[in-house]
Homo-oligomer: A and B are copies of this chain.
């Protein structure tokens, strides 16, 4: 029997009525002759009204037990959903990460899926049970419970899908698909019928909140198709897959943006002294993400390097750089706040060198100042004044005729 892994969103579990609805939604697959395996997101049942002993829970909880309680919470949620599906007359069972055979490991503070003992879920399927897996958790070599952090539930869904050879992954979300741009700032944004893994990765990295890049990366490796669909409206969503067949001729597929960017520029006394690697390693050690990097070496002028960081990292970055200034041999040249990043994304760019030029040209025509530029094979990002971000996104959406994209 064909299996499908369905990842439920947290908002579908907030009331008994919603749980009831999402149960029906899951059962639709069953009625169509497919066997659904469900992944429940990490939710915090023990918080709020359900909090026992607030005086114990509200203080900071040491790391190990914090993972334990998060994992338990999600297991309760999966049990709730199993109970509701069972009341509708179908065999359903909750599975913790351990019961689903999800082995994880910790490296550099991140919890990663190591291995899925797929026979465990397959046995449940063969037994006719709808397995409701508590997502975003697993067990390590010491049998300790660990939770996966950001993007964990989607990543769990993709990993399970790959392990059991599912037909595809259905990601149910509050949005009904992937759009050419954020609807809240680009009125003309259209839902995409299909998008490639790479495009989705760029969109995710560029601030789209649909799906964590971690899950998309895994799906790409295992060539696991993902359908992003609304959890409330049963309409066609967007397929994420390896190749987009129907619009290969479409170069740009989406516009993304990221507000509150800061540009930092440092100058070196001489080219010989400049150690870019040291600067960025120092920043990385303090968990400061550097995005666009632009280096300028002009004869007769001190070499400089500019890079963009998120607003919330600004204070920390200044502190870290000040401290290591003498050692790394540079001085601050400049910084600029009130910036934003706007990007165009599309797999077709690889073979279309004119796309960046077309982008810059339109921005120039619109009198939008480009402060920094960064390109990859399937994306061009520009840093513009924050005030111009929305307008830039809209004119680029227009420029690349995304409004004509369609679908549904």
Q: Could you list which residues of chain A lie within 8 angstroms of chain B, going by C-beta atoms? A: 15-16, 19, 45-46, 49-53, 55-56, 59, 61-62, 64-65, 68-69, 72, 75-76, 79-80, 82-84, 86-87, 93-94, 98-99, 120, 123, 142-145
Q: Which residues of B contact A69 (CB under 8 A)?
A: 76, 79
Q: Of B62, B79, B84, which one neighbours A72 at CB under 8 angstroms? A: B79
Q: Which residues of B contact A82 (CB under 8 A)?
A: 65
Q: Which residues of B contact A56 (CB under 8 A)?
A: 16, 19, 80, 83-84
B52, A52: Cβ atoms closer than 8 Å: no
B76, A64: Cβ atoms closer than 8 Å: no
- Residue in A52, A75, A86 with the greatest tally of chain B CB atoms within 10 Å: A52
Q: Report 13 cross-chain contacts, Cβ distance below 8 Å, ordered by A residue.
A: A16-B53, A16-B55, A45-B52, A50-B51, A52-B80, A53-B80, A56-B83, A62-B86, A65-B83, A65-B86, A65-B93, A68-B94, A72-B79
A53, B93: Cβ atoms closer than 8 Å: no
Within the assembled complex, what's the spacing in Å between the Cα atoms of A201 and B157?
51
Name the residue on B nearest A77 (C-beta): B52
| Cβ of A160 to closest chain B Cβ, rounded Å | 16
| Cβ of A60 to closest chain B Cβ, rounded Å | 10
B94, A65: Cβ atoms closer than 8 Å: yes
Within the assembled complex, what's the spacing in Å between the Cα atoms of A22 and B123?
43
Q: Which residues of B contact A120 (CB under 8 A)?
A: 143
Within the assembled complex, what's the spacing in Å between the Cα atoms of A83 and B62?
7
Q: Which residues of B contact A144 (CB under 8 A)?
A: 93, 99
Q: Which residues of B contact A65 (CB under 8 A)?
A: 79, 82-83, 86, 93-94
A61, B83: Cβ atoms closer than 8 Å: yes
Within the assembled complex, what's the spacing in Å between the Cα atoms of A69 and B99?
14
Closest A-B pairs by Cβ, 5 of them: A16-B55, A50-B52, A99-B143, A16-B53, A65-B79
B75, A68: Cβ atoms closer than 8 Å: yes
Within the assembled complex, what's the spacing in Å between the Cα atoms of A157 and B181?
59
A19, B53: Cβ atoms closer than 8 Å: yes
Within the assembled complex, what's the spacing in Å between the Cα atoms of A104 and B189?
57
- Residue in A49, A50, A144 with the greatest tally of chain B CB atoms within 10 Å: A50
Name the residue on B nearest A143 (C-beta): B99
Q: Of B19, B94, B98, which one neighbours A98 at CB under 8 angstroms? A: B98
Q: Which residues of B contact A87 (CB under 8 A)?
A: 59
Q: Which residues of B contact A50 (CB under 8 A)?
A: 46, 50-52
Q: Which residues of B contact A16 (CB under 8 A)?
A: 53, 55-56
Within the assembled complex, what's the spacing in Å between the Cα atoms of A64 and B80?
12
Within the assembled complex, what's the spacing in Å between the Cα atoms of A86 and B15?
35
Within the assembled complex, what's the spacing in Å between the Cα atoms of A86 and B69?
15
Name the residue on B nearest A49 (C-beta): B52
Q: Which residues of B contact A72 (CB under 8 A)?
A: 72, 75-76, 79
Q: Which residues of B contact A51 (CB under 8 A)?
A: 50
Q: Which residues of B contact A62 (CB under 8 A)?
A: 83, 86
Name the residue on B nearest A76 (C-beta): B72
Q: Which residues of B contact A49 (CB under 8 A)?
A: 52
Within the assembled complex, what's the spacing in Å between the Cα atoms of A69 and B46?
13
